[in-house]
Amino acid sequence: MAQLKTDLLVIGAGSGGLSVAAGAVQMGADVILLEGHKMGGDCLNYGCVPSKALIASGKAAQAQAHAARYGVADVVPQVDYAAAMGHVSDVIAQIAPVDSQERFEGLGVKVIRAYGRFLSGDEVQAGEHVIRARRIVIATGSLPLVPPIPGLESVPYVTNETLFEMREKPEHLLIVGGGPIGMEMAQAHRRLGSRVTVIEGARALGKDDPELAAIALDRLRGEGIEIAEEALAQEVRGQAGAIEIEAKDGRVFKGSHLLMAVGRKANIERLDLDKAGIETAKAGIKVDASLKTSNRRVYAIGDVAGGLQFTHVAGYHAGIVIRSALFGLPAKTRTDHIPYATYTDPEIAQVGLTEAAAREAHGAALEVVRFEYHHNDRAIAERKTTGLIKVMVVKGRPVGASIVGHQAGELISLWSLVIANGLKMKHVANMVAPYPTIGEINKRAAGAYFSPRLFENAMVKRVVGAVQRWLP
């Protein structure tokens, strides 16, 4: 066994691990990075990147089929599913060099292509290497959760890890799970010509504001997607091309292909965490606010830490760890300013508290301001008028924002900035947005907060009247 020593050992070359490794080595730390599978992790190879690429193919097909409202003749899109998946592969290939072993070795990181497992509190074995590290970062991400549904073990299915290997378009895609992954892939496949049925055991898009989710779900149903809610899968049967799912209430759904999209689980099985004294919980590795595990030499970041499972959260965690592990500075995570988006059409985006959570937390002190897309001139020009924004405000300070509509994922960043820095609605109102842009929706939401205070306030009118009488 080759013995190695390092300042920082990073286990996992997904988005979080790569961010830690790149930042630490460029700041002068000695860094070793372990990856037993693909550089770039889930996001690049199976998640964010390929899913958004396939969504783009679906949008292109949808644009051809619904162009008449712009004065361009509708045409039936000629979808080549294999070529669409080739587009997905090409997008991955274009981004891959940024996450590659060669790039990180060029930065000065020692990259070992092997899985790591703990031997002790500060030692990890990876292949033929035993590495002793001053600090260790676990960034192994998550895996698709496949529940033990009777019959599933004998029926062919795909997860997000195998979906993008398909080259033959599903005739009728069954999707178990009505969360973001399930709904995004449902719409993409429907637009590419597949029949699609989504089977959800509770409420589709159940983590989102119900009012906003309903707007998105209406669109998806309008495009021909069957969405069965309160349909807990009880049994799976059949074979390739002829699959049946029976729900607990007796409903039976038939299709040709099956995608399991019911959630994620922390990727910890190979790590031998007990040998390092690292405690776990149901959702993943237990960490404190500084992302330290029960072994104070070891941090856990991203999905494996059991919190919000988003690529940008892993990147945020990387910054916290670098400040703590490299500089010994106090650094703690927070979640109130973390945005997320679901990339259906229309998109759904959220940061901070939803309306329901804000009402529970703040009661009568809460004000909810709203602005609907159909009042935005750019949205009208582009025929993208379905949607609205809600901002939850307490004493002039936003505590949450919820958006459904065109470019919601872009719009939400402003509200993350506002909440992260403790800004108030007046700061958004002071912003000037170029006309005509979808971004004006944010400013108009601030206007909706101040309008009753200015235009429906008798005192304001009396003051203005008095000033006008006094002015020469």
DSSP 404-433: EETTHHHHHHHHHHHHHTT--HHHHHH---
Task: Check the annotation: does 200 bind a ligand.
Answer: yes
Task: Check the annotation: does 181 bind a ligand.
Answer: yes
Amino acid of residue 88: V
pLDDT digits (tens, 9 = 90+) for 210-226: 999 999 999 999 999 99
Residue 460 pLDDT level (bands cut at 50, 70, 90): low
Burial class (CB in 10 A: 0-12, 13-18, 19+), 265: middle
Average pLDDT over residues 188-201: 98
What torsion do the CA atoms of 448, 453, 457, 462 make, to the nearest 10 degrees? -120
Task: Check the annotation: does 179 bind a ligand.
Answer: yes
Selected from 3.40.1160.10, 3.50.50.60, 3.40.190.10, 3.30.300.30, the CATH number assigned to the domain covering 152-263 reads 3.50.50.60
Please give the full DSSP string across 96-157, using - where no structure is assigned: GGGG-HHHHHHHT-EEE-S-EEESSSSEEEETTEEEEEEEEEE---EEE-----TTGGGS--
Instruction: Tell me what the pLDDT averaged over the chain comes to.
Output: 96
Could you tell me which residues are beta bridge partners of residue 368?
Answer: 392
- 2-39+100-144+265-327 domain in CATH 3.50.50.60? yes
pLDDT of residue 119: 97
Cα gap 47→41, rounded to integer Å: 9
Q: 73: phi > 0 → left, psi -120 to 50 → alpha, else beta; which? A: beta
pLDDT of residue 469: 78
Size (the chain), residues? 472
Q: In sequence order, which ranges of 195-283 are alpha helices (DSSP H)? A: 210-222
Task: Check the annotation: does 177 bind a ligand.
Answer: yes
Task: Check the annotation: does 182 bind a ligand.
Answer: yes
Q: Which pTM was predicted?
A: 0.94
Residue 184 near residue 343, CB atoms below 8 Å: yes
pLDDT digits (tens, 9 = 90+) for 362-398: 999 999 999 999 999 999 999 999 999 999 999 999 9
Q: Smallest Cα–Cα separation from 321: which of 287, 351, 352?
A: 287
Q: Which of helix, strand or coil describes residue 330?
A: coil
Decide if pLDDT at 467 tops 90. Answer: no
Decide if pLDDT at 176 tops 90. Answer: yes
Cα gap 442→430, rounded to integer Å: 11
Please give the full DSSP string across 66-105, using - where no structure is assigned: T-GGGTS--------HHHHHHHHHHHHHHHGGGG-HHHHH
Task: Check the annotation: does 303 bind a ligand.
Answer: yes
Q: Where in the chain is the domain with CATH 3.50.50.60?
A: 2-39+100-144+265-327, 152-263
pLDDT digits (tens, 9 = 90+) for 54-105: 999 999 999 999 999 999 999 999 999 999 999 999 999 999 999 999 999 9
pLDDT digits (tens, 9 = 90+) for 11-67: 999 999 999 999 999 999 999 999 999 999 999 999 999 999 999 999 999 999 999
Task: Check the annotation: does 183 bind a ligand.
Answer: yes
Q: CA gyration radius for the chain?
A: 25
Task: Check the annotation: does 131 bind a ligand.
Answer: no
Residues of the chain above pLDDT 70, percent: 99
Q: Where in the chain is the domain with CATH 3.30.390.30?
A: 339-455
User: CA angle at residue 332 from 356 to 368, to 5 degrees?
Assistant: 20
pLDDT of residue 455: 64
Residue 41 near residue 12, CB atoms below 8 Å: yes
Task: Check the annotation: does 14 bind a ligand.
Answer: no
Q: Smallest Cα–Cα separation from 341: which of 428, 283, 406, 263?
A: 406
Could you tell me which residues are beta bridge partners of residue 9?
Answer: 32, 136
Output b/e per residue, 21-41; b: 16+ Cβ within 10 A: bbbbbeeebbbbbbbbbbbbb
Token code pair at residue 455: 């235009």
Residue 32 near residue 133, CB atoms below 8 Å: yes
For residue 292, give the DSSP letter: B
pLDDT digits (tens, 9 = 90+) for 299-352: 999 999 999 999 999 999 999 999 999 998 899 999 999 999 999 999 999 999
CATH tag, 339-455: 3.30.390.30
Task: Check the annotation: does 230 bind a ligand.
Answer: no
Q: Smallest Cα–Cα separation from 319: which of 34, 15, 5, 6?
A: 15
